[in-house]
Amino acid sequence: MAGRSRFLVTGGAGYVGSHVVAALCDAGHDVVVFDNLRTGHRESVPEGVRFIEGDLADRALVDAVLADGPWDGVLHFAALSLVGESMQHPFLYMEANAGLGFALVDACIRHGVKRFVFSSTAALFGQTEDALITEDTPIVPGSPYGESKHMVERALLWADRIHGLRSACLRYFNAAGADPGGRIGEDHRPETHLIPLVIDAALGRRGALHLFGDDYPTPDGTCIRDYIHVSDLAQAHLAALDVIRDRSVVYNVGTGTGHSNMEVIRSVERVTGRQVPWLPAPRRPGDPARL
């Protein structure tokens, strides 16, 4: 992106959001972060970046923030993101992700925002037999989480057709890793991502790892996931902002290569030289065999 631009980032104190904020700042842009800090961390926001603690449910505050423009774009990360939790509380996810997402898109249109980057998910594909999931793979969400993200994608399609709001829907696979400079990293509370859980188990920071499902139709019986480094994912957002100057796009964002849960365990054992204690556990509702 040429020149200095000004962006609003919702959920910018979270894992992926904070890495995108860092990438935008590194590129010389002016960034404002909006986050309720329920799962994000204030210390993940770079020094000097304006931070607004608030909730998207506060429509008046959202309007006031967007009125303080002009904005060169909005990047939307704020969401609930646990597949298992969404199976227990489906309407909570519909309201938090889809309902508040609709309201944010509407507010952006009213305040003249022209570019919108949406943090979507590959979870909207659900269980698929495709060896390689592409943008043309049928969408059959296997969880309310995936469904809620797909609903926002559909809303953005109509926002472009009717109002000219250009958008990029980025369907992430599985973000992993941390900023190579050590500024920020992965810090979910409680931690739900496999790689940090396996590392903690290897280092004795936690008890035995619970491996959810060892009877999937995969070579070793465990789930297969496509992992993408979070810094590469952040750069995809900056690239998307350039692309959507004149058109809306939908992209899957991954590496195209999957690794099973057991392969992750064996890799951590090889790197650390320590055995990872693990116990078999039942499958989690909503978890596909491959994603």
Catalytic residue among 15, 93, 145, 227: 145
Q: What is the mean pLDDT of residues 74-82?
A: 96
- How far is Cα of residue 23 from the mean position of the Cα atoms in its chain? 15
Q: Per the omega criterion (within 30 degrees of 0), is the bond before 277 cis?
A: no
pLDDT of residue 234: 98
In terms of pLDDT, which residue wins out, 191 or 59?
A: 59
Residue 1 binned pLDDT confidence (cut-offs 50, 70, 90): low
pLDDT of residue 284: 83
pTM value is 0.93
In terms of pLDDT, which residue wins out, 37 or 132?
A: 37
Q: What is the mean pLDDT of residues 207-214?
A: 90
The phi, psi pair for 155, rounded to 5°, reads -60, -40
Mean predicted lDDT score pLDDT of the chain: 94
pLDDT of residue 128: 82
Q: What is the mean pLDDT of residues 264-286?
A: 92
Is 172 in the active site? no
Residue 289, pLDDT > 80, answer yes
The phi, psi pair for 131, rounded to 5°, reads -65, -35
- Which of 46-50, 224-228, 281-285 has the lowest average pLDDT? 281-285
Tokens representing 74? 């909005």
Residue 187, pLDDT > 80, answer no
Q: How many helices (H) and strands (E) does the chain have?
A: 9, 12
pLDDT of residue 141: 95
Q: Would you tell me which CATH number, out of the four given (2.40.160.20, 3.10.450.50, 3.40.50.720, 1.10.10.10), belongs to the domain 6-177+228-253?
A: 3.40.50.720
pLDDT of residue 185: 80
- pLDDT tens-place string over residues 94-145: 999 999 999 999 999 999 999 999 999 999 998 887 778 999 999 999 999 9
Residue 2 binned pLDDT confidence (cut-offs 50, 70, 90): low
Distance CA 180, CA 200 (A): 19
Distance CA 61, CA 80 (A): 20
- pLDDT tens-place string over residues 226-251: 999 999 999 999 999 999 999 999 99
pLDDT of residue 191: 75
Residue 209, pLDDT > 60, answer yes
pLDDT of residue 286: 79
Residue 260, pLDDT > 60, answer yes
